[in-house]
Structure 1
């Protein structure tokens, strides 16, 4: 037992030393103090909880999932991960770790499922941005421009068939909840994951303070149009990346059940000793971390 603890301590010390020698800090983030100060004074910066809530609301809206269904899927993932861990590792501790690692599975599923809806939503986003920009160039009023678009969009649609969009929510929030236009635009940008749309909303915020900048909105829309062809080419590559990733993870964990039947002694060392359990935990955490990384790099180029 003492030797195992010593090995763990040596492993941790070597890892910390490498981080210090290479000057790596996984928690470091770039900050713009002027922007942070401006957002603080204006009261427009979104809180972390607000960003998370908007993210899940967007997923539920795009996939048609409800909060109750999501919790049911999460519970099923946790239970399935625990049972799979018991069958695979024959250890309650490792089964608990595996159930925790499989907790975000519904989030991954909804994210992948929402890609199609998000792509369709973004297809019409360019036209929406163009209409609002033209209206704003004529009236110099952001709220009125968005409200005009919403009214025109819903004019010939019966009330019971209308599907609320982030632009409908923007108008309602400004009129009924919080009249802060900057905060409303930041919430609007958070609901639609598109970097060109985010740039467009930032430009709208600048136009809110200086209307002479309104003509800078048109180049953003043109750049968004140019990015469509790039997105079509990258879709096939994203599918291949996910396929290769899942195949690699499957091969990595398939070694364990094969070892259970081919060499019981090695399997016992892997699943019963501290070092073996630590190795499996590292494998599970690595698979979870790489899943988030793959999801990040395979998102559409314009998001």
Structure 2
């Protein structure tokens, strides 16, 4: 009998739950709580991922630039100290100085990125010149290995082609395999297309002009890049001139309008404006660096 009453009681409670929608309410509360936990975990993961991205970026750039970690850490320390000193000089506030110190600490990443971009651009230009020499020679000789041998001293980017000669001479005399292997040694889209054209020309000599057309496209991209670099140089010059004018305003206030300068560096609104200014500068620099990438890479 007791089990009968317990069963009736359980069914009654279940009916009340379903009748008043308590099951949906509990389910909604559980989902909301779970969503908050997932959101909090996502925020933690996002914060960690930002730090992880910076660390990964640092490792990638230092490895690409072949810079010792000790040198990079020294640059980071100097950048942080310089940022803190400039923050104190311009804004006379420790909190803002800490922010500028953090920006100074990551400034070596931008320097490394510019150095690597310049090095890649120079390497792509040497590769373009080498491809031009070999393409013109190959049209005449119809023997790519002979073209490489005849122009070995004139090549500005000789390493992959010397490796090709070594591979075909001592390991495998298949020119197609050697070309495929050479194509994997250089990370450049035009070079990959050029190698594909050379491979096709080994089977059909009439396709030897296709390799020259790829180099012509690369030359066109080089001319466009030169025009872009000229335009970007003028834009960067105006940009940095504007930055100098912007950051000179606090010093002008400090000398000519000291009460306004005190309000700027001590009031919460003034500090917020300074932080927004620094954030806008960093955002604009990052966007400009992403846009101004070499076309030949």
Q: TM-score range by the shorter chain?
A: 0.5 to 0.7
Q: Which of the numbers 59, 63, 70 marks the counterpart of 2:65?
A: 59
Q: 1:267 to 1:50 in 2, by over 3 A?
A: closer
1:284 pairs with 2:283: no
Tell me if structure 2 keeps the 8 A contact 1:77–1:103: yes
SS at match of 1:300: coil
Tell me if structure 2 keeps the 8 A contact 1:88–1:257: yes
1:273 deviates by 2.0
1:118 pairs with 2:97: no
1:91 pairs with 2:93: yes
Considering only aligned residues, what root-mean-square deviation do their CA atoms show, in Å?
Answer: 4.7
Unpaired runs of at least 5, structure 1: 1-46, 140-144, 156-163, 172-181, 190-196
Aligned pair count reads 222
Unpaired runs of at least 5, structure 2: 1-52, 165-179
Return 269-278 or 113-122, whichever deviates more. 113-122
Tell me if structure 1 keeps the 8 A contact 2:88–2:94: yes
Distance 1:275 1:269 in 2: 9
Report the structure number with the largest CA radius of gyration. 2
Tell me if structure 2 keeps the 8 A contact 1:74–1:103: yes
1:112 deviates by 3.8
SS at match of 1:124: helix
Q: Which of the numbers 96, 102, 105 marks the counterpart of 1:103?
A: 105
Distance 2:82 2:235 in 1: 26
1:91 deviates by 1.1
Q: 1:251 to 1:203 in 2, by over 3 A?
A: same
Distance 1:185 1:100 in 2: 42
1:258 deviates by 1.4
Greater relative CO (CA pairs within 8 A, separation 6+)? 1
Q: Which of the numbers 167, 184, 198 marks the counterpart of 2:189?
A: 198
Distance 2:54 2:95 in 1: 32
TM score, norm. by length of structure 1: 0.54
List per-residue Cα deviations over 1:61-81 (Å, max 9, x = no partner).
xxxx54322221121011110
TM score, norm. by length of structure 2: 0.55
Give the number of the structure whose residues are more often helix, by fraction.
2
